Each structure stands twice: as structure tokens, then as C-alpha cells.
Amino acid sequence: GAQGWRETMGAEEEAPGAAPRRPPSELRGDDAAGELTSFEGLPGGPLELGAGGGGGGRPALGGTARPRRAPAERPGEPLRDFSVAMPSLAGQPVDLQGLPDQIKVALAFLRSVCPQDIMRDEVVAHFPPLLPPQSQEHKGRRTLVLDLDETLVHCHPSLLAGSPPPALHLRIEVTSPPLNAHVYVRPFAQLMLALVAQVFEVVVFTASAAIYADQVLDFLDPDRKCVAHRLYRQHCTEIGGGHFKDMRRLGRRLEDVLLVDNSPLAAGLSPDNGILVSSWFGDDYGDAELLDLLHVLEQCSLEASIPAFLAERYGFGAFLQQQRQRQQQQQAAAMGSNGLLSVPVGVLGPCAGPTPRP
């Protein structure tokens, strides 16, 4: 049934109460994947994998020269979606009305729950790390954590009208009734995996079940040469029914960790370690989001601190704090307008919330 589907294949980091995922629209554009096998074909000129610039002997995307900046939308324009190209969210008015409903629901959840106030650093310190120590092959590399569904692939229980045939058909027999899954691969996903695996320690972290995710990853990375570690739903931190991916629990320095996800909820516990990509639903084969992502990853590979760079580039952590402060101000104003005691915002304190489940 629907619940079994969600728990097995569709359990990505949707906020509780979110609307069902939108249906696919008509196919747009040509197949963007083409025959690209290197950075030579990327928009903006050739980029080559090379050493240098990464600091600490790390490999880097690109040479020692500063890389070109990834494409960015102009500030002030209404956001259609969160994406690699979006402008910084901090310190300026952001029109959120045009965002997909799921993004707006996730942001409302993050405003009300305040997960960082619930899962504090001193609590995280008591949990064992989710990853083993870095292997000799990956020693000193930054850790790139990739989401699976709607970031690299889209899985659907039925065939999508107007889309090319799915890359993979799955039948999950352990559920009752068995579940059918048709897996569509986002343009450039496998190329991106092959390239970033030469530079980063790559982890796939999904909120879906292993019985589904492993089959998809075995297709994307059949020789297991790209993805060093796999994390699943049981590795998420559950707060108020939402599944968060806590980068502090990996056992890596936060300065060297980067999460790529289509869900703001996933990055809620470490917002300045995350890049939010647009969601892909198997209907747009002209999509080039993962190419834009490669340019940002190139920049990240050269920065001394990934969260410091992403805080400046995207400002997601500051944006969430602004959203919470605005909500507190509205709550305080509502209390005053109802004839109740108007409490200054600073006195309201951190958001209360349920006990987290690691």
C-alpha cells in the first residue's frame, strides 16, 4: 500500500503533513546526458581533475587557479525552487510564494521545531560515529554526502507518461503486497559520481530503506568504485516525525563535510554544510542541475572551510534563523493583539520540541 511504498522507497525527508509528491509534467528538452565523459563539455569552459589547491595534500577539482563561479540567479527575483544556482538567502527579502508546496511545508516545520536546539552538540557527542575512520585511499579527503531520491534518481510505482523508459525496474518482495518500482536516473548522475569519486570520500545517505536503496546504488555504481559508504533511514535522526541527516554524527570534521540534498529538512541540523539542489521527478531530461553542482563542488574542494564558504554563498543557516525570529515576532504580536501579555521576542527562548530519536 501507500504506507509501505513511503517506508521502503518514498521515505525521503518530507516534513510531516507534506502534500504528496507532485506528478511528473510533460517531458521538456532533449536528453542532456549525451556522450559527455569529461569536464571538457561543461558550460563555461573546460575543467580538469588535478592536484593542488585542495589544501593538506587533498586532490581538487580543477588546478591551482580559482575556479569560475557557478551560475547564480539574480537576487530579488522570486524563487521558483531551491537550486544550486539560487542566490544567497541571507540578509535580503526572499519571495517564497513561488516555491513548491513541499519546500514551503519543510521550511514551516524547520521554523517551528528548531532541530538544532533539540539535538545539541553535547547530545551528539554521546553517539558513536556513523562512519568508520577514513581508508588509506580516502585519507585527508573531504567527505561528500549525496542524497538519493529526487537528487540522483526518481522512483515511481508506475511508468511515467512522456518520459523515456526507466533505467531500472525493481520488485520488492519483502512487503505485502510486493512493491513495484521504476527508477529513472537524473541526467549526468553517473558521470558526476565517477568524477567526484576521484576527489572526495563519497557517501550516499538516503532516508529510504536499504532493501531498495542498495539495488539502486548497485545499478549506479556496479563495481562499488565511486560510493565509499552507504547510510539509510535508520541512520537518520528523527525529530517530530521528520528525518534529518546530521553531519555531526559522521565522525568527520564539519569543516570537511558537504551534504547535497533536495530537501531543506535533511540539512536542518547542519544547514551551512548543505547544498540544496532542485528536486528531479523523472520528467525533465534537459535538466543540468548536476552540472551546476560540479562547479560548486570545485569551489568547495579549494576552500579551507566548507561551511564558511557555503554560509557566504547560500546563507541557509542565517536564513533559517531569520525565519524563526520572524515567526517569534509574529507570535509576540499576536499575543499582544489578543489582549494577552506581549512578551519581547528575546524572552520567548528557543523552540521547544519532541525528544529526538537517533
CA geometry: angle at 7 spanning 4 and 11, to 5°?
A: 135
Predicted confidence (pLDDT) per residue in 84-122, tens digit: 999 999 877 778 888 999 999 999 999 888 777 787 888
Looking at residue 131, its pLDDT comes to: 98
Length of the chain: 358
* Distance, CA of 356 to chain centre: 20
Catalytic one among 117, 121, 147, 292?
147
Using alpha carbons, list the distances in angstroms from residue 55 to 60, 142, 256.
9, 10, 11
Mean pLDDT of the chain: 80
H-helix or E-strand spanning residue 121: helix 121-124
Using alpha carbons, list the distances in angstroms from residue 220 to 12, 15, 93.
18, 27, 40
pLDDT exceeds 80 at position 346? no
Q: pTM to 2 decimals?
A: 0.79
pLDDT band at 175; cut points 50, 70, 90: confident
Strands (E) located in the chain: 49-51, 59-61, 143-146, 153-156, 168-172, 179-185, 201-205, 229-231, 237-239, 242-244, 257-261, 274-276
**Interval 201-220 mean pLDDT:** 97
What are the structural domain ranges in the chain? Answer: 2-22+39-348
Distance separating alpha carbons of residues 106 and 282, to the nearest angstrom: 22
Burial string for 4-36 (b: 16+ CB within 10 Å, else e) reads: bbeebbbbbbbbeebeebeebeebeeeebbeee
Output 55 or 198, whichever has higher pLDDT. 198
Neighbours of 241 (CB within 10 A): 13
pLDDT exceeds 50 at position 24? no
Predicted confidence (pLDDT) per residue in 241-261, tens digit: 899 999 999 999 999 999 999
**Interval 12-34 mean pLDDT:** 41
In this structure, which CATH number among 3.40.50.1000, 2.40.50.140, 2.60.120.260, 3.30.720.210 belongs to the domain 2-22+39-348?
Answer: 3.40.50.1000
Of 71-75, 213-217, 321-325, the range with the highest mean pLDDT is: 213-217
255 contacts 270 by C-beta, under 8 angstroms = no
Catalytic one among 95, 149, 214, 261?
149
Per DSSP, what are the bridge partners of residue 171? 180
Predicted confidence (pLDDT) per residue in 47-84, tens digit: 444 333 444 456 656 543 344 455 566 666 778 889 99
266 contacts 245 by C-beta, under 8 angstroms = yes
Looking at residue 113, its pLDDT comes to: 82
Q: What are phi and psi of 239, to 5 degrees?
A: -135, 120
Looking at residue 43, its pLDDT comes to: 42
pLDDT band at 45; cut points 50, 70, 90: very low
- Residue 209: CA count within 13 A, CB half-sphere: 14
Distance separating alpha carbons of residues 103 and 194, to the nearest angstrom: 29
What pairing do the DSSP bridges indicate for beta strands 242-244 and 179-185? unpaired
Cell readout for 145 is: 554526502
Active site residue 149: yes
Looking at residue 7, its pLDDT comes to: 60
Q: Which positions ≥6 away from 140 have C-beta within 8 Å?
A: 56, 57, 58, 134
Looking at residue 259, its pLDDT comes to: 99
Looking at residue 36, its pLDDT comes to: 37
Looking at residue 46, its pLDDT comes to: 36
